[in-house]
Amino acid sequence: MKFLCLDCDEPMKLASTEGPDEGSLTVTFRCPECGFRVAMLTNPFETQMVRSLGVKVGGRTVPAEPFEHLRSTMANPRADAFAGGADPETGPGCPFAATVNAQAPAEPASVAWTVDAEARIERIPEFIRPMARRAIERYAQGKGYATITDAVLDEARSTFGM
């Protein structure tokens, strides 16, 4: 994937990267001809999805190797398992690939939920429930609550504007 400047029809060059900050990543590109800048911002879920798909941001710099995907998914690979192949040439690679492909940050310790609060969160549609749960837990941790109760849910709901 490349970003093209619509005015100049030139591929944009990487200007800067920031993050990941709480899972979000910001990448800024600049047109070398006219100087137009554009920023790409990923949310934590997009960053995790890219990481889990094994996408190499910045494109391929070396030709594909036999069983490349299999090698990358092996739990405990032996160093000599695929010996005999020539080492591919290494290039500069993507300047922010290490940022995106770095280990996911450790999950913060979750707060306890009361039975009533658990029952209430179960009424949220299944596809959005994990995101809602994390948002409520972050809210409770930010406010210093040790347990999520119905009152905390009401407070979070009013804060989120729902």
Residue boundaries of the structural domains of the chain: 1-59+96-104, 112-160
Pairing of β 13-21 and β 24-30: antiparallel
Helix axis angle, 150-160 to 129-143, nearest 10°: 100
Query: Which pTM value belongs to this model?
Result: 0.35
- Quickly state the pLDDT bin for 115 (edges 50, 70, 90): very high
pLDDT in tens, 57-69: 544 567 777 777 7
- CA 11 to the chain's CA centroid: 24
CATH code of the domain occupying 112-160: 1.10.8.550
Which segment of 2-16, 46-60, 112-126, 142-156 scores lowest on mean pLDDT? Answer: 46-60
**DSSP-based three-state secondary structure for 148:** strand
57/100 Cα distance (integer angstroms) = 8
Query: Bridge partners of 72?
Result: none
